[in-house]
Amino acid sequence: MATLEEEQTAKRTLVEMSWDPITRIVGSLGIYTKIDFENREVAECYSTSSIFRGYSIFMKGKDPRDAHFITSRICGICGDNHATCSCYAQQMAYGIRPPAMAEWIINLGEAAEYMFDHNIFQDNLLMVDFCENMVRETNPSVWEKAKKTQAPHAADHGYRTIADIMTALNPFTGEFYRETLHVSRYTREMFCLMEGRHVHPSTLYPGGVGTVPTVQLFTDYLVRLARYAEFMKKVVPLHDDIFDFFYEALPGYEKVGERRIMTGCWGAFNDPDVCDYRYENMSKWGRGMFVTPGVVLDGQLVTTDLVDINLNIRILLGSSFYDDWENEETFVQRDPLGNPVDKRHPWNQTTIPRPQKREIHEGGKYSWVMSPRWLHQGNHLALDTGGGALARLWATALAGMVDIGYIKATGNSVKIFLPKTATKPEVEFEWQVPKWSNAIERNRARTYFQAYAAACAYYFVEKALGELHAGRTQTHTPFEVPEEAIGCGFHEAVRGVLSHHLVIREKKIANYHPYPPTPWNASVRDVYGTPGPYEDSVQNTPIFEENGPENFKGIDIMRAVRSFDPCLPCGVHMYLGPGKTLELMHSPMFGVQHA
């Protein structure tokens, strides 16, 4: 795309296009762009969110033990991740540690959530962008090529050509689409075995779970897990085939959704042997997690320390509909280790909504999403979550700490072992650190992480059965709510980093701020003018779609945005104006601005 940059100072014809709402995601997302059709690229992008609910406001003054029930309702697809994270934060505040059995049950529930959620999002929502109907509509020549291209792993998944895979992905009529829906159901059954109900769990409590551990419980889970493992042995090669095909069929496709490698993972699956929920020991037990926390910057792992991760979170305003809290109360001056806590840290945030007109332009206010950033060497980095899976695998691979028999992190890859299943032998998959942080690699990582979660679940079942066989069936540790306390929880929601920060005074919630993945990804231009990850990955995405402005679908933009697994019950939309909302504008300044 170098040639494009040279032309940037010249006059460009930009067409305003927007997609609002972006569908096939959870929540409300709008993407507003200016497209340079002549040079086939997106020149400018704004993401907007159209919903405000006010959790941190209405949670004030409530009983802290209600926090996980309430925060689960933040998200309708990964609510349980919130409930879990809230219990982590409460456990720190109450100074308790659940029995090992409870941790294995939660890990099994959360593993099922990853298996279910990545599965339904990938193949029932996102891959519709790669299905026959869509590809024929947007890139007929690619469809022609797909018909002639043999699928390299046909023997593993049963589809002869790439076109056959695409047809199987058609919504509702496609065979693989329907199979995935079915899989999304029995994986949710696995979830319900451990956490009671999907998506807002009934059996999670601070201190443990209400689930009754029995032989039946784990057997019912295990048989479904084995079915899923068998399914994954087909799904991983199937996705590799289709993603590799896109690189090959559309040279330069690695640019779609590409941005600087700047991705974070807050870690998942606590190990009851090391995790005591004490802040003072958080660096240690964070590194004991079965998905390693970490920040990957330009391909280097810059930290695996949860304390470091915690202290450098900053919540910036800029283009969002809120007033600043500079003059509001500071709740936490120092963390339990004595480190100073910034005013812009979630522990000290006060949310003050100011509804106003939407002004979508540089310097305007246009979204209900704030701008979370991570401070590193003086820079407020707009970290993305890699759609969850990419950051998790990347941090885990580079850290090289996880080694549990079913998973081995090597320092530059992650090896995943799935045992023998009904009709398929044991299989080892190896996820390699990719060259780019782009749409295809976010999507590929998602498939590999499904296998990762399944492999972990085999391990957790063994551990849980070990406890059961030893007669250690207690699942809950009693507690008292303290007069005053603080707590924080770190977890990985399915689509990425999740933190909950809690302050208790007089046994009531004095402050509570959850930071789910999407505020990171969908964040808007901050006070320093730095765009959020959707914005900057869509900006300068090349256009490969064969349609012109009249019937433009924006498929490459959709693929860029959906690769993050947007989930905005907290708000964002996209709208496409086919013909009618088009507005031609001549803006000689654009290229310069974004050079």
Partner 1 sequence: MAETVPYGMKTQRPPDIPDVHVIWMTGGLGCDGDSVSITAATQPSLEDVLLGAIPGLPRVHLYNPVLAYENGDDFMKYWFRAERGELEPFVLVLEGSIPNEDIKSEGFWAAQGTDPATGQPITIPEWLDRLTPKAAAVVGAGTCATYGGIHAMQGNPTGAMGLADYLGWNFKSKLGIPIVNVPGCPVQPDNFMETFLYLLYQVAGLAPMIPLDDALRPTWLFGKTVHEGCDRAGYYEQGDFANEYGSAKCIVKLGCWGPVVNCNVPKRGWMAGIGGCPNVGGICIGCTMPGFPDKFMPFMDEPPGAKVSSMMSMGYGTLVRGLRRLTNDTVNKEPSWRHRGSQLTTGYRPRTY
- Site of interaction with ligand SF4 (CB under 6 A): 73, 76, 202
Q: Which stretch binds partner 1 (CB under 8 A): 149-157, 243-251, 347-355, 537-545?
A: 347-355
| In contact, 460 and 108? CB cutoff 8 Å | yes
Cβ 200 to ligand SF4, closest distance in Å?
6
Cβ 519 to ligand SF4, closest distance in Å?
18
- Per CB under 8 A, 364 contacts partner 1: no
3-state secondary structure 184-216: HHHHHHHHHHHHCCCCCCCCEECCEECCCCCHH
Q: Which of 196, 150, 561, 232 is nearest to 428 (CA)?
A: 232
- Given candidates 136, 145, 147, 178, which one binds partner 1 under the rule CB under 8 A? 178
Q: Binding marks (x or -) toward partner 1, 479..508, rule CB under 8 A?
A: ------------------------------
For ligand SF4, the closer of residues 198 and 365 by Cβ is 198
- Per CB under 8 A, 572 contacts partner 1: no
Q: Name residues contacting partner 1, limited to 28-47 (CB under 8 A).
A: 28, 30
3-state secondary structure 284-340: HHHHCCCECCEEEECCEEEECCHHHHHHCEEEECECECEECCCCCCCCCCECCCCCE
What is the Cα 548 distance to its own chain's centre? 32
Cβ 192 to ligand SF4, closest distance in Å?
12
Total residue length of the chain: 595
- Per CB under 8 A, 478 contacts partner 1: yes
Cβ 571 to partner 1, closest distance in Å?
8
- Per CB under 8 A, 69 contacts partner 1: yes
Lookup: tokens for 495: 């689509």
Kindly report the backbone phi and psi dihedral angles of residue 437, in degrees, each rounded to the nearest multiple of 5, phi listed first: -105, 95
State the binding partner of 388 from partner 1, ligand SF4, none, CB within 5 to 8 A by kind: none
What are the residues whose beta carbons fall under 8 Å from the beta carbon of 144, sequence distance 6 or more? none
Looking at beta carbons, which residue is closest to ligand SF4?
A: 73
- Given candidates 7, 38, 66, 248, which one binds partner 1 under the rule CB under 8 A? 66
**CA distance readout (Å), 479 to 70, 206, 348:** 20, 9, 26
Q: Which stretch binds partner 1 (CB under 8 A): 194-202, 284-292, 310-318, 489-497?
A: 194-202
- Per CB under 8 A, 211 contacts partner 1: yes
- Given candidates 4, 154, 192, 465, which one binds partner 1 under the rule CB under 8 A? 192
- DSSP run (H or E) holding 371: strand 371-376
For partner 1, the closer of residues 54 and 588 by Cβ is 54
Cβ 83 to ligand SF4, closest distance in Å?
12
Cβ 270 to ligand SF4, closest distance in Å?
26
Partner residues linked to 268 by β-bridges: 291
Q: Which stretch binds partner 1 (CB under 8 A): 56-64, 237-245, 424-432, 485-493?
A: 56-64
Q: Which of 217, 198, 195, 68 is nearest to 120 (CA)?
A: 198
For partner 1, the closer of residues 283 and 349 by Cβ is 349
CA distance 243 to 195: 34
For ligand SF4, the closer of residues 205 and 277 by Cβ is 205
For partner 1, the closer of residues 38 and 359 by Cβ is 359
CA distance 60 to 51: 20
- Per CB under 8 A, 188 contacts partner 1: yes
Cβ 114 to partner 1, closest distance in Å?
15
Please, what sign has the CA dihedral across residues 282, 283, 286, 287?
negative
